[in-house]
């Protein structure tokens, strides 16, 4: 199969690329290589892929890539994803996540690509105080990031309904695992704990998120490549939900670090207290189901970061600047 992967040097996209390359697929990667992208993630299979250091907002260059590579499927992972940063720099999120998606949808239409996978987020549902949301529930995004992803999500569905463009929409819960940048809770906590730095936690840390291990997430996407139906939306989650503060304390315990490293900050305005989704649709229509329990996945993630702390610490310079702008006391 010939696939084009946007954001293929990022956390999620690179795991897909590594597996696709090992399957012998012809893989084209398009990545702007911002702080979120890193070629180290692709080193093991770098000689088996075609890489383009290109912004998805560069429509003319994208068109040249599509024309040359003629992909059979496009997997759209590229996005601005830091929720806190989206509050302070919303324009970047609207441009990349919405306009970039429009450009890709237009090119998929023009070149008659067989499948377009629109990778989105369960943040689009907004706060869910009780119960779970399935794919038919209304969206209620409550951050600029979530608004931008919901817009991209709905654009893909409009192209399906109006033009029968073969779009499959994937809404992911919180993903964790190896190679994740320390803008996210788990690697940030690991990095700061290893440095004995204070770990920022909003409010009392009572917010609840659903967590899925990286390999289970990517396996779900491969399953949908084979069995997913154009026009359909699929939630991908684990059913395992935990409070942020409990995860932070669990990491500190595993690293034998004191809870005194935790620094409580004023709660973020509009912070969703709980998000929970149903993943029965993909489970019932395919053979996929998550296989990694959170405790096991967390231990594996910590072990990976300890073995690869050089890579983790390489990210420190950028994130110290980011943290100083985001996690500041008001």
Are 182 and 123 within one domain?
Answer: no
Identify the domain containing residue 157 by its residue range: 2-175+210-236
Are 77 and 190 within one domain?
Answer: no
Residue 303 in any domain: the answer is: yes
Reduced to 3 states (helix: H, G, I; strand: E, B; else coil), residue 313 is: helix
Cα separation, 117 vs 110, whole angstroms: 16
Q: How far is CA 302 from CA 75, 79, 93, 218, 276, in A?
A: 28, 25, 30, 20, 25
Cα separation, 75 vs 224, whole angstroms: 11
Give the tokens for residue 41. Answer: 């993630």
pLDDT at 322: 64
Are 217 and 313 within one domain?
Answer: no
Are 188 and 149 within one domain?
Answer: no
Is residue 93 a contact partner of residue 86, using CB atoms and an 8 Å limit? yes
Residue 298 in any domain: the answer is: yes
pLDDT at 270: 62
Question: What is the domain count for the chain?
Answer: 2
> Which residues of the chain fall below pLDDT 70?
269-270, 317-330
Residue 24 in any domain: the answer is: yes
Cα separation, 27 vs 69, whole angstroms: 9
Are 57 and 153 within one domain?
Answer: yes
Residue 186 in any domain: the answer is: yes
Are 182 and 125 within one domain?
Answer: no
Burial per residue of 205-221, b for 16 or more beta-carbon CB atoms within 10 angstroms, e otherwise: bebebbbbbbbbbbbbb
Residue 327 in any domain: the answer is: no
Are 52 and 154 within one domain?
Answer: yes
Please state, as a whole number, how many other Cβ atoms lie within 10 Å of the Cβ of residue 177: 23
Is residue 234 a contact partner of residue 135, using CB atoms and an 8 Å limit? yes
Are 131 and 12 within one domain?
Answer: yes
Residue 40 in any domain: the answer is: yes
Are 230 and 246 within one domain?
Answer: no
pLDDT at 214: 98
pLDDT at 272: 84
Give the tokens for residue 274. Answer: 């709980």
Residue 326 in any domain: the answer is: no
Is residue 277 a contact partner of residue 233, using CB atoms and an 8 Å limit? no
Closest CA to 112 of 66, 154, 68: 66
Closest CA to 83 of 148, 35, 2: 148
Cα separation, 28 vs 74, whole angstroms: 9
Burial per residue of 57-69, b for 16 or more beta-carbon CB atoms within 10 angstroms, e otherwise: ebbeebeebbeeb
Task: Please tell me the total number of residues recorded for the chain in this structure.
Answer: 330
CATH number at residue 166: 3.40.50.720
Residue 323 in any domain: the answer is: no
Q: How far is CA 155 from CA 26, 86, 111, 133, 162, in A?
A: 28, 20, 18, 20, 10
Closest CA to 175 of 141, 222, 219: 219
User: Please, where are the H alpha helices in the chain?
Assistant: 11-22, 59-69, 83-88, 90-94, 100-110, 144-163, 185-194, 214-227, 244-254, 280-285, 294-307, 309-314, 316-326
Q: Is 75 exposed, middle or buried (0-12, 13-18, 19+ CB in 10 A)?
A: buried
Are 135 and 195 within one domain?
Answer: no
Reduced to 3 states (helix: H, G, I; strand: E, B; else coil), residue 184 is: coil
Are 223 and 249 within one domain?
Answer: no
Are 182 and 265 within one domain?
Answer: yes
Output DSSP code: residue 259: G
CATH number at residue 197: 3.90.25.10
pTM (predicted TM-score): 0.95
Cα separation, 185 vs 183, whole angstroms: 7
């Amino acid at each position: 199969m010939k696939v084009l992967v946007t954001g293929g040097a990022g956390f999620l996209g690179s795991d897909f690329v590594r597996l696709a390359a090992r399957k012998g697929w012809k893989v084209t990667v398009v990545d702007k290589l911002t702080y979120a992208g890193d070629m180290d993630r692709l080193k093991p299979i770098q000689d088996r892929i075609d890489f383009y250091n290109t912004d998805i907002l560069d429509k003319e260059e994208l068109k040249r890539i599509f024309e040359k590579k003629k992909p059979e499927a496009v997997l759209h992972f590229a996005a601005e994803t830091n929720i806190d940063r989206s509050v302070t720099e919303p324009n970047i999120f609207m441009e990349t996540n919405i306009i970039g998606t429009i450009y890709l949808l237009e090119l998929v239409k023009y070149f008659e690509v067989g499948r377009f996978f629109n990778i989105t987020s369960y943040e689009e549902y907004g706060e869910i105080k009780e119960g779970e949301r399935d794919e038919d529930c209304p969206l209620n995004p409550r951050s600029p990031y979530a608004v931008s992803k919901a817009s991209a999500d709905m654009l893909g569905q409009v192209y399906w309904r109006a033009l029968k463009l073969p779009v499959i929409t994937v809404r992911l819960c919180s993903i964790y695992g190896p190679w994740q940048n320390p803008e996210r809770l788990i690697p940030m906590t690991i990095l700061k704990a290893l440095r004995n730095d204070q770990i920022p936690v909003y409010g009392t840390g009572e917010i609840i998120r659903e967590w899925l291990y990286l390999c289970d997430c990517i396996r779900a996407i491969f399953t949908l490549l084979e069995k997913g139906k154009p026009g359909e939306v699929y939630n991908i989650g684990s059913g395992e939900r935990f409070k942020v503060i409990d995860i932070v304390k669990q990491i500190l315990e595993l690293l034998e670090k004191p809870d005194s490293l935790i620094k409580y900050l004023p709660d973020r305005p509009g912070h969703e207290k709980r998000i929970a989704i149903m993943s029965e649709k993909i489970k019932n229509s395919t053979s996929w189901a998550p296989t990694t329990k959170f405790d096991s996945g967390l231990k594996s993630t910590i072990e990976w970061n300890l073995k690869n702390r050089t890579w983790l610490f390489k990210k420190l310079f950028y994130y110290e600047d980011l943290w100083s702008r985001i996690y500041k006391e008001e």
